[in-house]
Structure 1
Amino acid sequence: MDNALLSDVTGVILVGGRSRRMGRDKALLSLGGAPLVARVIEAFRRVFARTVLVGDRGERFREFGVEVISDIHPGSALGGLHTGLARAGTPYVFVAACDVPWPDSRVIAHLCSLRSGYDVVVPRTDGGFEPLFAVYGTGCLPAVERMLRQGNCRIYDFYPEVRTRQVTMAELAGLAAPERTFVNVNTPSEFEHIRQREEAPMAKAISFVAKSGTGKTTLLEKVIAELKSRGYRVGAIKHDAHRFDIDHPGKDSYRLTAAGADTMLISSPEKLAVVKKHEVSPPIEELIATYFGDVDIIITEGFKKSGLPKIEVHRRERSTTLLCRGEQHDPTLLAVASDEPLELDVPVLDLNDPKQVADFVEERFLTQRS
């Protein structure tokens, strides 16, 4: 799949549940500063051209700016699936519950990429099917309608009647972690456990942003060297909006990746490198949590649209305007490293003094290092 949003698959989020075991609406539980349903909406918007909410009490969610469709047969997830299939107007839907704390857009995109020739594409973990994180085609409608008439609401009971593609965890290796990707929330104790996992300490990160040709990479080289000289463990992430290769044609590692390996790791006594293919770029927060647990500070280059705290690099001869002040007002901006004096609401650092920039990073992020 390329980076275009899917137009023949509608993202369907089920919001009709009564949350009886939770005691309050699961969809609106706040995690990481956002309601659970908003996290699912955001993941869907990375993959689908259209996302809808399905539920008989959908008016509660109009503030999220997503179309709401009332249940035709309220009271069950199967009924929500039926409504999505009947009303979406696309050959396929991807169905998810509203209480998925860590919906992974890469997994969603991969499951959708397998849809051709099937009525259902469903993950299967050691615990069984994951019917509320799966692809369904309109070919399922006759079987779903029959089950609703019979009063059988167990979704996976109709799988043997249609063309079903089971996706194993081995196929999702490197993409899905069952203990994370397919988790949902049912009880207060489950939510508390998830909240604690979400709020576990993560490595501190700051993003340096700039217009191209400003000298951002040169400054970062010197800031990283300065922080290393002070004894800190430093990680670095470079954002590249284009395709790239880290090895070269003819090398064994290149040949293995070119042959189709989804994850390729090369290791030596000094270092290792991982090449991992993905269909949708993972969020920066996920990269940090996955790969940078052993550092004190992460310096990222780019990621202008992320929610990370930022230092903008400004050079007078390159531009008279700033990215984070003027063209827009980015509340995550902490400072500007500039080669000219500026009147701003944040500190202005000397672009030509990497020690001063490192001092600022150390003071803001590292003085409380344990």
Structure 2
Amino acid sequence: MDIRPLSDVAGVILVGGRSRRMGRDKALIPLGGKPLVERVIDAFRPLFERILLVGDRGERFASYGLPVFPDIHPGSALGGLYTGLVRAGTPHVFVSACDVPWPDPRVIARLCSLREGFDVVVPRTVGGSEPLFAVYGTGCLPAMERMLREGNYRIYDFYPEVRTRYVEQAELADLVTPARTFVNVNTPEEFETIRNREEGMAIKAVSFVAKSGTGKTTLLEKVIAELKGRGYRIGVIKHDAHRFDIDHPGKDSHRLAAAGADTMLIASPEKLALVKKYDESPPLDELLATYFGDVDIVLTEGFKKSSLPKIEVHRMERSATLLCRGEEHDPTLVAVASDAALALDVPVFDLNNPAQVADFVERTFLAAGAA
């Protein structure tokens, strides 16, 4: 990539967050052998002559040899952005949070190239604006100062007051998939999803999720039949939020379990069943590693809070909204099977055509070289 470093745009990385939901400093979590903040720094170095970090506890980042400025108005991303603009000494800055695992320099360069005549250049995807991966000019400072005095910290609230250029997803389609570029990390579960996507899962698995009454079990059984017909070995995990029994009073297996056995296995010439007691639901990765080493892929039903890639099953009659898009923007969503045409940032397949869904699963997870 031949990009000449910009002298009139500085790179600003916000490192002042407290990472409360993560439980540890997000900036320094290693991914692929590098802390997340270093991945952003590496993306910035060929683009900007000046790079600065904004946040307290600057000693954490001394090894990078970059200036670190404490927040002038601590406690919010808006305050960090304001500090970056004040301290940069350039007409514009490109700001990024420190927890962006895949910051694409081509996207950053494209956004910076649109800055002339604008105070803000911000990408907009189906999930909304991306205010912490955007260009800001010093013309924003008066509006920022007023909002900080008023205690309003929502960055996008001042956009109508300045010259704002929204960059739609289609304008970046030739460069990269926005769903990957604008991902950030807030919780351990989200980081596990990103780690799996970065490093690849030892056992391939995808979860079918849906609101109740949409027919996900019906679709799943048809997808299983499709894939079995293509010669694949399929594992299935069904999530049950309630208690269940696979044996019944009067049976020897039930008597042995009732006597206090913690693990009991029933074996016959053609199948076996394992009954194992847990105090709480066992971790999904433990189930995959322990019981599914002999299959090509595991399809799960449920587990909507897991870090697995997800296919959402949607029926318009049941609900006009999705589980994984709307109030929640689940970065693990990879496709939707729906009975209605939907404009989304992931592929949408016909709910009544299980072969389409099976084709996607095969192409994405089972084809040679699929990650």
TM-score range, shorter chain: 0.5 to 0.7
CA RMSD of aligned residues (A): 2.0
Q: How does 1:13-28 map to 2 (within 5 A)?
A: 13-28=13-28
* Distance in 2, Cα, partners of 1:193 & 1:105: 23
Report the residue type matching 1:55 in the other structure: G
2:151 maps to which residue? 151
Cα deviation, 1:312-341, whole Å, max 9, x if unaligned, reads: xxxxxxxxxxxxxxxxxxxxxxxxxxxxxx
**Which segments of structure 1 move beyond 3 Å, counting only runs of 4 or more?**
293-296
Structure 1 residues 294 and 174: alpha-carbon distance in aligned structure 2, compared to 1, 3 A threshold: farther
Instruction: Map residues 107-146 of structure 1 onto 2, 5 A cutoff.
Output: 107-146=107-146
Deviations 1:52-94 (A, max 9, x none): 1000222211112211111101110000000011110000000
SS at structure 1 position matched to 2:102? coil
- Matched positions, count: 207
> How far is the alpha carbon of 1:294 from its aligned partner?
5.5
Query: C-alpha separation between the residues in 1 aligned to 2:189 and 2:48?
Result: 32
Query: Is it true that 1:43 corresponds to 2:5 in the alignment?
Result: no
Unaligned ranges ≥5, structure 2: 203-363
Q: Do 1:14 and 1:80's aligned partners in 2 also have CA atoms closer than 8 Å?
A: yes
Q: Percent identity?
A: 75
CA-CA distance at 1:178 after TM superposition:
2.2
Relative distance call for 1:295 and 1:30 in structure 2 (3 A) is: closer
2:2 and 2:60 map into 1 onto residues whose CA distance is 34
2:84 corresponds in structure 1 to 84
Tell me what 1:241 maps to: none
Written as runs of structure 1 = structure 2, the 5 A alignment for 1:202-217 is none
Unaligned runs of 5+ in 1: 203-289, 297-370
Equivalent AA in structure 1 for residue 48 of structure 2: F
Change (3 A) 1:295 1:151: closer
Alignment of 1:148-187 (within 5 A): 148-187=148-187
1:1-370 to 2 correspondences below 5 Å: 3-200=3-200
CA contact (8 A) 2:4 2:46 kept: no
Q: What TM-score do you get using the length of structure 1 for normalisation?
A: 0.54
CA distance in 1, matches of 2:56, 2:201: 39
Q: Distance in 2 between matches of 1:108 and 1:201?
A: 29
Residue type at the aligned position of 1:166:
Y
- Amino acid across the alignment from 2:158: F
Q: Secondary structure at the match of 1:171?
A: helix
* Distance in 1 of aligned mates of 2:31 and 2:182: 16
Whichever residue aligns with residue 14 of structure 1, its letter is L
Distance in 1 (CA, whole Å) between partners of 2:164 and 2:48 is 22
How far apart in 1 are the matches of 2:369 and 2:27? 35
1:2-43 deviations in Å (ceiling 9; x for gaps): 721001000000000000000000000000000000000000
